Amino acid sequence: MFMMPNLRTARAGLMMGAAAAALVLTSVTADAETIRWARVGDALTMDPHSQNEGPTHTLNHHIYETLVGRADDGSLTQRLATDWGISEEDENVWVFTIREGVKFHDGSDMTVEDVVFSLDRARTPPSGMAALHAAVEEVTAVDDTTVHVRMSGPAPLYVQNLTNTFIMSKAWAEANGVETSPNFAAGEEAHSVRNTNGTGPYMLVERDPEVRTVLRAFEDHWADAPEVTEIIYTPITEAATRVAALLSGEVDIVQDVPVQDIARLEQTDGISVVRGPENRNIFFSYDMTSDSLASSNADGNPFASPEVREAMSLAIDRNAIQQVVMRGESQPSAAPLPPFVNGWTEDMHAFGDPDLARAGELMAEAGYPDGFSVQLDCPNDRYLNDESICQALVGMLARINIQVDLNAQTRSLHFPLIENWETDFYLLGWGVPTFDSQYVFDFLVHSREGSYGSFNGSRYSNPELDEKIQALATMTDLEERDALIAEIWDEVMEERIFLNVHNQVLAYAMRDGINLDVHPENQPRMTTVTFD
């Protein structure tokens, strides 16, 4: 299904020598603005519901639209829904008012039927989005502009789960046999993997997975026309090559800028860098429950000792990690959640200077005056400088005689260790797409049972806390709910389940004359690009 390269992309030119000329060309012609956009990886699929994954959503947001959007400050915005709220008659029902006059790329009108169809498709396995809609019982169209979503109980925050659930055309899906999201096991490629029909501001012109994807502005889009009329999206895996492509003028925007290159790029003529906080925190956690640790020479489980956990929190030098490992590009914090998230407080965030003397005393009190050894599992291709952060911690813990063996490996080997409880001590980064603490508790704090605790690698289990966490899901009095969240956090911080390092900061580098802000979920929209 590849298309012939067209003349316009040919003119955009990948030839080096023409880079300077292309620059002049694009800034003069106001009617055709092309953005050449590079990042580390490609979207996995164009199917709107198959994968719940960042880069996939980022690209699909240009082609498909969601009911509600997420603004750069994290707040919700209107998109295909113009209004939403909990029904006054029934607290279990969410009511959405659907925008009128919206067209799909094939020219057909979007109706409430399409919305119902899409939400149903998204919540039906094997859709990757199903978990976010697990509480949905039924989706119905009430009239031409209203859709009701009935939940299994009160779900005051459900709308927060909708920011990555796209609306697609029912007729198109049925005509192409993609009524459900693609099934890997079926052994056939679904039409929706490389073909699209959304309502978004751009149409898919060319899709060559992992090589290049070309989008062109959709003229019948309901919103104002974006300044960028064409997007050429190219994944470049190697960090050095990605930066080289920007320096040589072969791409206009680089999304995943290695932290060490940010300062240098800022000083480079013709290139500017924007940065902003990401909704993701990076932390260490440990098995604090088992009787002994597989990778440790210690008797018993040192992490079970509150003194050891406190000693570790006194040994870590977050500011040094920020200054050296992250080159200043992070927000050191002791709070195991990003500041965007409901429940974050200044108190949780604050941390003191490292105190090795006190940490040493605590180690002795805990019965480990000579320390112990343990393995630290760390991903090396998932978060910004993940391996270097782990390496820095190895040095810091060595000062209090905790001898750490570093096991850094690729993400597909790292994450199953947490999932299968095969790691004693690990690094994890957590993004909070719902912008609410409950999401953190559900996956990281609640005991592992059912859909809860799947990333709870600490094996922490506290039935009392579990009850409180479950109660959060259905509380409609938001003030009361926030109080309970604070209560749970007090307990979690007291127990030191997490040894938080920092919140990630995102940086996008681009050629001068392009304006693009950092998106907290790392999903930049080319519709928001303006030119000087």
Partner 1 sequence: MADFTPGNRPNALARAWDSDIAWSFRHSPLAVIAAFVSILIILAAVFAPWIAPHDPFNPASLDLMDGFTPPMEPNAFTGNVYWLGTDNQGRDVFSTILYGARISLFVGFMAVLFAMVLGITLGLIAGYRGGWLDSLLMRVADVQLTFPSILLALLIFGVARGFIPPAYREAMAIWVLIVAIGLSDWVQYARVVRGATMVEKNKEYVQAARVIGAHPAKILIRHILPNVMGPVLVIATIGLALAIIAEATLSFLGVGVPSTQPSLGTLIRIGQGFLFSGEWWILLFPSITLLALALSVNLLGDWLRDALNPRLR
Partner 2 sequence: MLTVSAVYAGSDMLAFILRRLVQSVIVMLTVALVAFALFRFVGDPIASMVGQETTLAERAEMREALGLNDPFVVQFAKFVTRAATGDFGISYRLQQPVMELILSRLPATLELALVSGVAAFVFGVGFGVYTALNRGNWLSGTIMTASLIGVSLPTFLIGVLLIWVFAVELQWLPSFGRGETVYIGNWWRTGLLTESGRASLILPAITLGLYQMTLIMRLVRAEMLEVLRTDYIKFARARGLSNRAVHFGHALKNTLVPVITITGLQLGSIIAFSIITETVFQWPGVGALFINSVRFVDVPVMAAYLMLIALVFVVINLIVDLLYYAVDPRLRVDRANTRH
Q: Which of 82, 97, 108, 295 binds partner 1 (CB under 8 A)?
A: 295
Q: Which of 33, 114, 317, 436 binds partner 1 (CB under 8 A)?
A: 317
Q: Identify each DSSP E strand in 4-60 by its residue range.
A: 34-39
Any contact of residue 379 with partner 2 (CB under 8 A)? no
Q: Which of 47, 252, 261, 329 binds partner 2 (CB under 8 A)?
A: 47
Q: 323-352: which residues touch partner 1 (CB under 8 A)? A: 323-325
Q: Which of 179, 189, 467, 512 binds partner 2 (CB under 8 A)?
A: 189
Query: Whole-number minimum distance, CB 295 to partner 1, in Å?
Result: 4
Q: How far apart are CA 215 and CA 48, in angstroms?
A: 16
Which of 137, 93, 82, 139 minimizes the C-alpha distance to 116?
Answer: 139
Any contact of residue 184 with partner 2 (CB under 8 A)? yes
Q: Which of 185, 291, 463, 479 binds partner 2 (CB under 8 A)?
A: 185
Q: Which pair of tokens denotes residue 314?
A: 């006194």
Q: How far apart are CA 309 and CA 529, in angstroms?
A: 46
| DSSP per-residue letters across 49-63 | SS---HHHHHHHHHH
Q: How far apart are CA 138 and CA 120, in angstroms?
A: 8
Q: Which stretch binds partner 1 (CB under 8 A): 83-91, 117-125, 195-203, 379-387?
A: 379-387
Any contact of residue 243 with partner 1 (CB under 8 A)? yes
Q: Which pair of tokens denotes residue 304?
A: 């079970």
Place of tokens 């198109």: 172
Any contact of residue 34 with partner 1 (CB under 8 A)? no
User: What's the half-sphere exposure (Cβ side, CA atoms, 13 Å) at 290?
Assistant: 18
Q: Residue 179 belongs to what H/E stretch?
A: none
Residue 465 phi/psi, 5° resolution? -65, -40
Largest pairwise CA distance in the chain: 73
**Three-class secondary structure assignment of 287-330:** CCCCCCCCCCCCCCCHHHCHHHHHHHHHHCCHHHHHHHHCCCCE
Which of 85, 91, 70 minimizes the C-alpha distance to 147?
Answer: 85
AA identity, residue 362: L
Q: 470-509: which residues touch partner 2 (CB under 8 A)? A: none
Is the dihedral angle over the CA atoms 145, 177, 52, 137 positive or is it negative? positive
Q: Which of 193, 320, 471, 486 binds partner 1 (CB under 8 A)?
A: 320
Contact between 237 and 254 (Cβ < 8 Å): no
Binder of residue 357, out of partner 1, partner 2, none (CB less than 5 to 8 A by kind): none
Phi-psi region of 260 (alpha: psi -120 to 50; beta: other; left: phi over 0): alpha
Query: Whole-number minimum distance, CB 159 to partner 1, in Å?
Result: 40
Contact between 254 and 39 (Cβ < 8 Å): yes
Q: How far apart are CA 381 and CA 367, in angstroms?
A: 36
Distance from the first to the final alpha carbon of the chain? 37
Any contact of residue 351 with partner 2 (CB under 8 A)? no
Give yes or no for a cis peptide into 126 (omega within 30° of 0).
yes
Q: How many other CB atoms are there within 10 angstroms of residue 361's CB atom?
A: 16
Contact between 295 and 374 (Cβ < 8 Å): yes
Q: Which stretch binds partner 2 (CB under 8 A): 49-57, 324-332, 339-347, 460-468?
A: 49-57
Q: Which stretch binds partner 2 (CB under 8 A): 73-81, 350-358, 447-455, 518-526?
A: 447-455
CB nearer to partner 2: give 131 or 350: 131
CB nearer to partner 2: give 344 or 430: 430
Any contact of residue 59 with partner 2 (CB under 8 A)? no
Q: 410-469: which residues touch partner 1 (CB under 8 A)? A: 410, 413, 417, 422-423
Binder of residue 471, out of partner 1, partner 2, none (CB less than 5 to 8 A by kind): none
Any contact of residue 97 with partner 1 (CB under 8 A)? no
DSSP secondary structure code for residue 105 in this structure = T
Total of residues contacting partner 2 (CB under 8 A): 69
Q: 382-401: which residues touch partner 1 (CB under 8 A)? A: 387-388, 391-392, 394-399
Query: Whole-number minimum distance, CB 87 to partner 1, in Å?
Result: 51
Any contact of residue 14 with partner 2 (CB under 8 A)? yes
Q: Which residues contribute to the site for partner 1 (CB under 8 A)?
A: 239-240, 243-244, 247, 258, 260-261, 263-264, 294-296, 317, 320-321, 323-325, 375, 377, 380-381, 387-388, 391-392, 394-399, 404-410, 413, 417, 422-423
Residues in touch with partner 2 (CB under 8 A)? 2, 4-5, 10, 13-17, 19, 44-45, 47, 50-53, 125-126, 128-132, 182-190, 193-194, 208-212, 234-238, 240-241, 244-245, 247-250, 381, 410-413, 415-416, 419, 430-431, 443, 448, 450-451, 454-455
